[in-house]
Amino acid sequence: MRKVFYLDESPHNPGKYMIRVNIDLIPFTTTIGSLNLLPARLLNLSYAQYLRFCRDIVGAEIHGKNCLYPVAYFYRDPLSDQLVKLLNARTELVLWEDEHPDYHEHERALRDFDRKRNLKNFQN
């Protein structure tokens, strides 16, 4: 699995970590806005909902109130590690779907094959 997301210690807040994106592993040419929004989009949350999730569930501190993009700072613990794993799993799925645009056709072929195999086994 690609490690697109990782925890990186903040140079300004030692002992606190930010979720960073390895942009070399994401196939895009341009972006508008901040890559800090990417985790929220992968979790199907607004950025405000994502920050609340990070604060209330994962235990992050939110810095940058009244800024354009406040940022979540995490402690290095199992919950923050699990969030990074979840984000990487979601990213892997999105990238896989992008790399396999004919997946639905492939899925239909597998279902047909499975039906035929089950029918053959039933007849024996």
Token pair in block for residue 96: 């896989």
Q: Supply the DSSP string of 75-96, one letter for each residue.
A: -SSHHHHHHHHHHHHHHHHHHH
pLDDT in tens, 29-64: 677 778 889 999 999 999 999 999 999 999 999 998
Asked which of 7-16, 65-74, 77-86 is least confident by mean pLDDT, the reply is 65-74
**Predicted TM-score (pTM) of this structure:** 0.78
| In contact, 88 and 55? CB cutoff 8 Å | no
User: What are φ and ψ of residue 18, in 5° steps?
Assistant: -115, 150
Please give the residue range of the domain that contains residue 50. Answer: 5-123
Q: Which of 84, 74, 73 is nearest to 92 (CA)?
A: 84
pLDDT in tens, 72-112: 999 999 999 999 999 999 999 888 887 777 777 777 777 88
The total number of structural domains that make up the chain: 1
